[in-house]
Amino acid sequence: MKKSILVLLAAVALTWLDTGCGKKDESKGTEPAKGKERVFVMVPKGVHPYYEPCFEGFKDAAAKYGVKAEYRAAKGFEVPQEVEVIENVIARHVDGIAISALDDQGLAPVIEEATKAGIKVVTFDAPAPTSKALTYIGTMNEAAGYAGAEQLLKLMNNEGEVAVLQGGLGAPNLNDRFKGFERCLKEKAPNIKIVAHEDEQGKIDVTVNKTEALLQAHPNLKAIFGVSAEVCPGAAAALKQQGKAGKVILAGFDDLPDTLSAIRGDIVNFCIAQRTYKMGWLSVEKLLEAIDGKPLPKEIDTGVLVITKQNVDTYMQDMKKEFAK
Ligand code: BGC
C-alpha cells in the first residue's frame, strides 16, 4: 500500500476515535464537556475482598458507557478514614461517587459537601439513609436478615443457642440485617436464643478469635450466623481448628471464595449471596441518569440468593446471564 494511503487511513481512524465512535458508548448521560472524560469513583467501606465483584460490575458498565472508573479504599473500616477518602475525591472534581457507607451520621456531612460541589452521589451495598445521596442500590437488608433466620431455624429445629457476628456495629445495612434476623426468630422460633451479638470489625483474624471465644463461653452453642462477609470464612477456620467443623451450624452473608469452598466441604451450611456485580453496574447507570437530570427512586433492590451445596456450582453462571452482552 502506498505511504499516502496509509497516512490517510491513519487520519480517518484517529478522527473516528476522537469523536468517540471507537468507544462502546451507548449514549447514556448527556455528553461531557469536549475533551473531558467523565470520572466515576467507587468508595467501599474499606479494603475487603467483598468489594471486588462490586468494582468488576462498576468497571464493566463504565467501559460500556465510555466513563473512567476508579476505586479508592481506606485501609480499615474507620469512619474518619472513609470521610478522608471521599474528601480527596471531591477535591479532584470528579463527576460521580458511589459509596458503601460505614455509618449514616458520620458520612452525611461529606456527602452533602460532594453534592454542593456538583458531584452526583449514590450509595451502593450500604446506605446512609439521612444523607443527600440520590439513591441506594443494594440488598433490602431487613428482609434479607429475616430470610437468613428463616433458613437457619429449620436447620436448628426451632431451638437452641445461636451467636451472631457482625463487621462493625455502626453500619445501617448490617444493623438492619440483625433487626430482621432477630424479628424472625421472635416471630417464628421463640425457643431459639441469641446468646451473643458481637463486633468483629470486618476482619477475618478478629472473627477467628471471636469464634474461639464464643465456643468456650457457650459450650452448647448450636449455630453461628454472620451478617457480614468475613464471618463464614473466619468462623469456618476456627471451627476446623477446634475439631468442630460440621458439628456447629454455620451460615451467613456473602459468597466469598472461601465460603463457597466451605459449603462444598460441609462446614458452612448456606450463605446469602448479594448481587454485588449488579450493585456496581447499576451504580454507573444511575450516576449517568442523575447527570441527565432524571429522578432516581429512593432505593433499588438488587436481590439476594440462598446458596447451598445444591446450587453452589451453578448460581454464578445464572446471575451473570443478566449481563451477558
Ligand atoms: C456487607 C458489606 C461489608 C462486607 C464486609 C457484606 O456483607 O454487605 O457492607 O463491607 O460484608 O464486612
C-alpha cell read off for 194:
441469641
Model confidence at 13: pLDDT above 60? no
Residue 126, CB-side half-sphere exposure with 13 Å CA sphere: 28
Instruction: Tell me what pLDDT residue 25 has.
Output: 43
AA identity, residue 24: K
pLDDT, residue 31, reads: 67
Fill in the amino acid letter for 264: R
Atom of ligand 1 nearest to the CA of 45: 10
3-state secondary structure of 228: coil
Predicted confidence band at 280 (pLDDT cuts at 50, 70, 90)?
A: very high
The pLDDT value given to residue 307: 98
The 3-class SS string of 7-25 reads HHHHHHHHHHHHCCCCCCC
pLDDT band at 30 (very low <50, low <70, confident <90, very high): low
**Helix 79-91 crosses helix 108-116 at what angle (to 10 degrees)?**
0
134-179 per-position pLDDT tens digit: 999 999 999 999 999 999 999 999 999 999 999 999 999 999 999 9
The residues, any chain, with a CB within 8 Å of residue 223's CB and separated by 6 or more, are 152, 155, 156, 160, 161, 162, 163, 248, 249, 250, 251
What's the grid cell of residue 207?
472473627
Given pLDDT bands bounded at 50, 70 and 90, which one contains residue 23? very low
Pocket test for ligand 1, best of 81, 125, 210 (most atoms within 8 A of CB): 125
Roughly what angle, to the nearest 10 degrees, separates helices 52-65 and 276-291? 40
Q: Which of 43, 45, 230 to mutate to test the pocket of ligand 1 (most atoms within 8 A of CB)?
A: 45
Which grid coordinates are listed for 300?
433499588
What's the rounded Cα separation, in Å, for the pair 44 and 54? 9
| Residue-wise pLDDT tens digits, 249-262 | 999 999 999 999 99
Grid coordinates given for 304: 439476594
What is the 51 CA–ligand 1 centroid distance (Å)?
Answer: 8
Mean pLDDT of 97-118: 98
Task: Give pLDDT tens digits for 65-86.
Answer: 999 999 999 999 999 999 999 9
Radius of gyration of the chain (CA): 22
Query: For 202-258, how does the pLDDT look when each residue is reduced to its tens digit (9 = 90+)?
Result: 999 999 999 999 999 999 999 999 999 999 999 999 999 999 999 999 999 999 999
Q: Which of 7-21, 43-57, 215-229 has the lowest mean pLDDT?
A: 7-21
Ligand 1 pocket by Cβ (under 6 Å): 45, 48, 50, 100, 125-126, 167, 173, 202, 228-230, 253-254, 274
In whole numbers, what is the pLDDT of the chain averaged over residues? 91
Per-residue cell: 40: 466515576
Can you give the pTM of this predicted structure? 0.89
What pLDDT digit, counting tens, does each position of 282-301 carry? 999 999 999 999 999 999 99
Three-class DSSP category at 244: coil
Q: Which residue's entry shows cell 455528553?
A: 31
